[in-house]
Amino acid sequence: MRLDHLARLTPEQAKRRRKLTLELLWVCAFALVPWTIYLAVSLPDVYGTRHWSLAWAGFDVLELLALGATAYFGWRGRQALIGTAIAAATLLICDAWFDVTLNLGTPDIWMAVGSAALIELPLALFLIHRATMLMRLTMLRLLSQTDVRGRPIRLSKLPLIALLPFDDDHDPDQDPEFGDEAAHAHDSQYAGDRERDPGAP
C-alpha cells in the first residue's frame, strides 16, 4: 500500500483497519484450537505420501533463502534483516521439530536429535536473540523512556512505531493510525506499565 494513500486515512479509518486485522488474527488463533485437537485424534500414526524428497528439498531451499537474505541484509546494514532473521529462525525450529518427530522409533532418531540440538535450535535461538536485540536498539534510539529504575522498558511493552506521532512538522490528525487517540494511548501506556509492573526491566 502506498504511503501517500496511508497518509490520507483518517484516525477513525486507521483504527478500524487495525481492529479488523486484530479480529482476524484472534479468529484464526481460536479456530486453530479445535482443528489441532481434531488432527491430533484423527490423523493416523503412519501415512504414505508422494513427493517426499520435493517437500524436504523445497523446505531446505526456503531455509537457504531466509539465511541468505539475513546475511545479505546484515552485510548491507539494512533493517530488513530483523524480519528475515525471525523467518529463518522459525524455519529452523520447524525443521528440527519435523526431523525429530518423523524419525521417532527409527535408527535415524539420534542423527535428528543431534542435528536439532547442535545446529538448528542453537542457530535459531541465536537469530532470535540478535533480532530481538536489534529491535530493542531501534526502539531505544527512538524512545528514551525507562522504568523507575532507569532501565530500558521491555520490548514486549514498547509501542509500535507506527502508532507514535510524527515530528512537529507533521500534522498528527492527517497521519495514518496517529492522532490524539494514538498519542494519548502512547503516553498512558508507559504510565500504566510502570504502575502495574514498577520493577520491570
pLDDT computed for residue 200 by the predictor = 44
The CA distance from 161 to 65, in Å, is: 28
Query: 3-state class of 152 per DSSP?
Result: strand
Q: Does residue 83 have a pLDDT over 90? A: yes
Which cell numbers hold the place of 189?
Answer: 501506556
Nearest Cα to 82, choosing from 30, 155, 22, 144? Answer: 155
User: What is the overall mean pLDDT for the chain?
Assistant: 80
Whether the full predicted model's pTM is greater than 0.95, yes or no, is no
Q: Does residue 168 have a pLDDT over 50? A: no
Q: Does residue 138 have a pLDDT over 90? A: no
pLDDT computed for residue 172 by the predictor = 41
Task: Taking residues 98-113, report their average pLDDT.
Answer: 94
Give the residue with greater pLDDT, 141 vs 60: 60
CA 128, chain centre distance (Å): 9
